Amino acid sequence: MDSFYKRYCNGECDKVWDELILLGDKVRSRAVISDAQSVAREFVSRCRKNLMLLHARLQEIGYQFASPENALRKPTKSELEQLDVIESKYGTLPIILRAWYETFGSVDFRQSSEQLQHPDGIKPQKGPAVYGLGSHPAIVFVDLNESLKMITEIDKERVACIQEAKKNGYYDPEMEKYEPFFPLGGWTSNCEPKGFILPDHKFDGVIYNDGGGDMYFAYELRNAFRWGGFPFWSHSLKNRNFYSPFEYKPNFKKIAPVLQRDLAAV
């Protein structure tokens, strides 16, 4: 039987991914680990090509990134070294996430507030075609330092909740159970952070479930690329009245084909 890597390169992307996920912890067995890592690196390589295309095209159509220096950059030497520290402190990263941060320092396609938010009213105001495109962004993977800051904040909130419970008489020892959560930087539709619960010895893991089922890291990116990086606005193609309150509405019908062109299957 062909290797997972060869099958992935031959177009069996979805099937290979599902099979690697089903292996669970066994993906790290001596017979599979090298093959699985090759698939992960190929996936990230294709993502890199897509992201470079999107980044360039967005600049060409006048899209302003909220943080241009972090929109798409390689990891620094210290960030690469930090991966081992994070795994030692919080637990093993899934194979795909490790491969991701070995290639990217940060990927942040959030839009500048000037282009995103209009000043008056709930209904969207008219603006240039690209205004409002960055609403509910799917492509947000902050750098490791930012993730660590978020981990600290989440833990502070957890400790404060426990103290509050003890003070007001509703404390439960179950509240002390702690599973490190590694935030990616993005947020779900129900305002929960996207990320992985560590340790995660599997190939890929669930980064959120906002009521529509488990969403894996790769599936989130796959869906994002399908819609040129901005899947939120795909709803506007079926519902012309679709909008995001207090934000501009882009001309997605015009922009999407430009962004979608020649993106690689991942």
For residue 184, the one-letter residue type is: L
| Whether residue 77 has pLDDT greater than 90 | yes
Residues facing residue 140 across a β-bridge = 108
Average pLDDT estimate for 118-136: 87
Q: Which of 45-59, 60-74, 120-134 has the lowest mean pLDDT?
A: 120-134
Compute the chain's Rg from CA coordinates: 20
- What is the rounded distance in angstroms from the CA atom of residue 94 to the CA atom of residue 202? 5
pLDDT for the residue numbered 138:
96
Q: Tokens 């897509």 correspond to what residue?
A: 50
Q: What is the pTM of this model?
A: 0.93
Q: What is the pLDDT of residues 221-250, one digit of tens each?
A: 999 999 999 999 999 999 999 999 999 999
Average pLDDT estimate for 174-199: 91
Average pLDDT estimate for 251-258: 97
Cα atoms in the 13 Å half-sphere on the side-chain side of 129: 11
For residue 56, the one-letter residue type is: A
With vertex at residue 188, the alpha carbon angle to CA 124 and CA 229, rounded to the nearest 5 degrees, is 65
- What is the rounded distance in angstroms from the CA atom of residue 130 to the CA atom of residue 97? 31
- What is the rounded distance in angstroms from the CA atom of residue 83 to the CA atom of residue 26? 22
- What is the rounded distance in angstroms from the CA atom of residue 156 to the CA atom of residue 127? 41
SS3 call for 196 = strand
Sign of CA dihedral 154, 91, 94, 145: positive
What tokens were used for 227?
């819609």
Q: Per-domain residue ranges for the chain?
A: 4-260
Average pLDDT estimate for 76-100: 96
Alpha helices in 61-143 (DSSP H): 77-90, 95-101, 113-116
